[in-house]
Chain A
Amino acid sequence: MTVTHETIGKGEVLLAVDQVSLSFGGIKAITDVSFDIRKGEIRAIIGPNGAGKTSMLNVINGFYHPQQGKITFKGQTRSKMRPSVAASQGIARTFQNVALFKGMSTLDNIMSGRTLKMNSHFFWQCFRHGPAMAEEIRHREFVEDIIDFLEIQAIRKVPVGKLPYGLQKRVELGRALAMEPDLLLLDEPMAGMNLEEKEDMSRFIIDVNTQYGTTIALIEHDMGVVMDLSDRVVVLEYGRKLADGTPDEVKADQNVIDAYLGVAH
């Protein structure tokens, strides 16, 4: 995995979606969409509700299996893939409506993001000593860095269920970061946030992108945010690709204006 990581330099195509179509029963969610995500960029996917944005993410990280088309990630092409495999290949994501592990503390949530990287033997786990403990501590250190990075020290031991929405989103981001992903999918990271929270979140997203050099694909409704954050934007509507390009290009695109930006959001 890390090997392929090396082989893809900044600016090269990290993930390519090629003529993907997806449908549930009769309903077509995505029709023949193609676009790519380049290493190190922030890529936005926008579109009206029901445009198939979230479905797109689900396809990318293997939760849905497209009927047609294929997906190339780090040079490996596949049409189907188990989500857990996608994860182990370096795709992490957050969810539209926060999907944290409600029963656990912030710390544990983020720790669980490290699961893939942990492998101490069951035997040691039983005694919580030797390798197991060493591993726990090693990853705790990593996680603490993230906590520090996201400025959530104060809620380290709080059960996430008790947290306000904004913070939950932040924790979720933390959990995704804990996976050290090559590609980070953010599904409406700022939904239902107030201005201040949005600003914080955007700051974090940018910092993630610059600091860790993580490639980010995000869905967002707040046009302002999208245009500031992203390097390139792809616009979907009714499961079809409407436009693709830099924020300015997209803003200028007539179809987009008619279909989306025109509508008050």
Chain B
Amino acid sequence: MPISAWHIEGMVMDILFKVLIDPFLQMGAMPDLFVQTIWDGFVTGVLYALIALGFVLIFKASGVFNFAQGIMVVFAALTLVGLYEMGLPAPLAVLVTLGVMFVLAVAIERVVLRPLVNQPDIILFMATFGITYFLIGLGELIFGGNPKQMITDQLYLPRGAIEVKMLGGFVQFQKIDIAAAVIAVVMIVALAVFFQKTRIGRALRAVADSHKAALSVGISLNQIWVIVWFTAGIVALVTGIMWGARSDVSFGLQVIALKALPVLILGGFTSVPGAIVGGLIIGIGEKLGEFYWGPLVGGGIESWLAYCIALGFLLFRPQGLFGDKIIERI
């Protein structure tokens, strides 16, 4: 017996070591790699944040949990590229795409939201599924199903990478990633301003609180919905460009929409800063996890790690990082 006892104990120690200590040793051993991973995570996080942002905008203003945000990203990117391929100059293509997104917003408001006003959330949620399916079909019908190259250069987005020598190694920063980060920040700031300063923005915030309040500001709900969905559309477009620039434009992209869910959970459905912080946490968390712990279980844990992080988190703070505490009344 002692032998096997030894044996088991050995195994346990081994596992504990692999899980609890070894990863950190690795980090310490190659800080440059560590930073690299963090950076990668950060960028992914930014993109998650952007999608989450789309969700939050819509959820805040219309209480709709817009599952279609992901496909909107894809759709926007596809349209852009598609238009370009049809021979429009890039800047024009961007404008037209914006136009398309606007039309989309209007259409959704008319066809989906207005008839379904005052329906339970789950129904609206389902409706956005409908939208998703519709857009998938439409996108593929028009632009075909196969992946496309994002027109990075034509949009004057930088290529290549900067290699910074640090921590006894090289850390590589893709210019596009930096750009992405910068643009994301710019956009978030812009949105913040839009919400704080402009009349419409205030109205939107009002809607978030109560619909009556919004009306008192003198903007009809329908207008607000259009605006919000359009804004979400813009966010989607930017996200699409960024993401497309890093990999390529395909329907596989829509899966990242699902990734935005745990982000939302961390950040809370109604909080813009929450979305961002959440995005970063998830992004970095899952990259680190994949890189350092993934191998232990054969990798690929990226696919669910995010959710489990979120789940664990939920159990302690059901209302999310920035969400406000729910007091149930009866």
Contacts and interface: CB of A to CB of B under 8 A. Distances in A.
Interface of A: 24-25, 54, 58, 63, 95-96, 99
B5 interface: no
A99 B330 contact: yes
B322 to A, nearest CB: 16
Nearest to B325: A25
A58 B327 contact: no
A56 to B, nearest CB: 13
A95 B327 contact: no
A3 to B, nearest CB: 30
The B contact surface, by secondary structure, is loop
A54 B330 CA distance: 8
Interface in B295-330: 325, 327, 330
Nearest to A63: B330
A24 B325 CA distance: 10
B330 A24 contact: no
Contacts of A54: 330
Interface residues of B, number: 3
A95 B330 CA distance: 7
B328 to A, nearest CB: 8
Contacts of A24: 327
Contacts of B325: 25
A116 B327 CA distance: 27
Given A54-B330, A95-B330, A96-B330, 5 more contacts: A24-B327, A25-B325, A58-B330, A63-B330, A99-B330
A231 to B, nearest CB: 26
Contacts of B330: 54, 58, 63, 95-96, 99
A99 B330 CA distance: 8
Nearest to A57: B330
Contacts of A25: 325
A196 to B, nearest CB: 28
A204 to B, nearest CB: 22
Contacts of A99: 330
8 contacts: A24-B327, A25-B325, A54-B330, A58-B330, A63-B330, A95-B330, A96-B330, A99-B330
Interface in B71-118: none
Interface string B262-295: 0000000000000000000000000000000000
- In the A-B complex, the 3 residue pairs with the closest CB atoms: A24-B327, A95-B330, A99-B330
A248 to B, nearest CB: 32
A259 B246 CA distance: 69
Nearest to B328: A63
Contacts of B327: 24
A123 B155 CA distance: 66
B286 to A, nearest CB: 35
Interface in B48-75: none
A265 B330 CA distance: 23
B80 to A, nearest CB: 46
A19 to B, nearest CB: 23
A58 B327 CA distance: 13
A86 to B, nearest CB: 14
Contacts of A95: 330
Nearest to A99: B330
B264 to A, nearest CB: 24
A96 B330 CA distance: 8
A66 to B, nearest CB: 15
B56 to A, nearest CB: 24
Nearest to A24: B327
B323 to A, nearest CB: 15
B179 to A, nearest CB: 43
A63 B329 CA distance: 9
B183 to A, nearest CB: 39
A102 to B, nearest CB: 11
B92 to A, nearest CB: 54
A63 B328 CA distance: 9
B165 to A, nearest CB: 52
A93 to B, nearest CB: 9
Interface in B202-227: none
A41 to B, nearest CB: 25
Interface in B15-61: none
A24 B328 CA distance: 11
Nearest to A55: B329
